Amino acid sequence: MPVTDILQKKNFSREDIIRLLSITDKSEQEELLKKAYSVKEQIIGRKVYLRGLIEFSNLCQKNCLYCGIRTGNTKVTRYSASDEEILEVAKFAHENQFTSLVLQSGERYGRDFTKRITSLITKIKQIATPEFRITLSVGEQSFDTYKEWFDAGAERYLLRIETSNEELYRKIHPDNKLHSFKTRLQCLENIQKAGYQTGTGVMIGLPFQTTENLADDLFFIKKMNIDMVGMGPYLEHADTPLYMYKNSLLPLYERLNLSLRMIAVLRIMMPDINIVATTALQAITPMGREMGLKAGANVLMPNLTPAKYRGNYLLYDNKPCIDEDADECIDCLANRVKMIGEEIAYNNYGDSIHFTKRGIRTQQTLTR
Ligand code: 5AD
Ligand code: SF4
Ligand code: FES
């Protein structure tokens, strides 16, 4: 079926999505991306929401086969930023009119870690206005931990499902209890149950991944009623087990284009969610993140990690901005956003419209 006809439909079938994801013709791809951008423009406007990102520690107890900071990679210099350093970044973000900070790290468990995050949330809430939104991205935890952090004031949580296909999930993770697909799914559900605006996402262009898998990922995101999505190309890292499949991967530019089509199809399927133009897009080409915005994404996450740590948080090779500091990245991104005719929505919390509409805001969120 011609792309034009599919794009007229109200709901895409699995076949439609597979057809859209398989586009190779340049003008068909442009048609898809243009449609997605117009949906985004209509619902969200020509606006980009910023979230400051701090990768506060690369200590991780897991051993995901694709990730550069997996515990098995002994070449990594491990770090954990101090509370003071993290609070400094939160202050910086607030002073630079960010309304949101994402705290990301490798996965760690235990009462000490939980307590530390709880106390950090409280402290960040004190320096920034009470409305400053905190997003956590620290992996799989118990329901009680998720709830404790939510009650302390964190409102959003990112946990990528990585792939919604259990078999593929098993191929890209070690075969043990710490890397269970079922647990990951349960965690995502618990995050929603705890009251968070919930973010998930997948990697695109993984070894063994099919277009059917990716179509199912989009259905998964829709079925789970997800509020925020961050998905980007899988990029190989030389010191990881998956690196051995590097010759079987899609060429980088095709991975980039496939990622853009994933963003575009999802935007059309879920017009009111927040979609991030991920840094991984920029690892393929300098304008990658802008291309993501033009394909229907509406969120950028400038990296505010202190420059001295950046070189040690390399999940994949060729990560951009590792020599820049926060000021440089913000100016650079602001210019890029202007260049594509959009503007940064300062002083706007940028809550997912989808989440607000879901109407499950608790008393606590309402009064905050
Ligand atoms: N390529 C792309 N994305 C990666 N991530 C981890 N390793 C890689 C890689 N090699 C992503 C995962 C994880 C997020 C923090 O980074 O999706 O959830
Ligand atoms: Fe750890 Fe996350 Fe990397 Fe897996 S993807 S090894 S959990 S930092
Ligand atoms: Fe980091 Fe341009 S976005 S320097």
Element (H, E) at 276: strand 274-276
Q: Which CATH fold topology does 3-367 show? A: TIM Barrel (3.20.20)
CA 73 – CA 83 distance, rounded (Å): 26
Is the CB of residue 333 below 6 angstroms from any atom belonging to ligand 3?
Answer: yes
Give the Cα separation of 165 and 188 in Å (integer). 15
- pLDDT > 90: what percent of the chain? 86
pLDDT at position 359 is: 64
In this model, does residue 362 exceed pLDDT 70?
no
Indicate the top mutation candidate among 319, 333, 344 to test ligand 3's pocket, ranked by most ligand atoms within 8 A of CB: 333
pLDDT score of 358 more than 80? no
Q: Check: pTM over 0.85? Answer yes or no.
A: yes
Section 27-38 average pLDDT: 98
List pLDDT tens digits, range 119-143.
999 999 998 776 789 999 999 999 9
pLDDT in tens, 220-278: 999 999 999 999 999 999 999 999 999 999 999 999 999 999 999 999 999 999 999 99
Instruction: State in Å: Cα 57 to ligand 3 middle.
Output: 21
Q: Does the structure show a pLDDT above 60 at 147?
A: yes
Index of the ligand 2 atom closest to the CA of residue 315: 3
Alpha helices (H) along the chain: 3-8, 14-21, 26-44, 83-95, 111-127, 143-152, 166-171, 181-193, 211-223, 252-269, 279-284, 288-294, 307-310, 326-339, 353-358, 363-367
pLDDT for res 360: 54
- Of 57, 65, 67, the one to substitute when testing ligand 1's pocket (max ligand atoms within 8 A of C-beta) is 67
Ligand 3 pocket member 324 (CB < 6 A): yes
For residue 366, pLDDT over 60 is answered with no
Mean pLDDT of the chain: 94
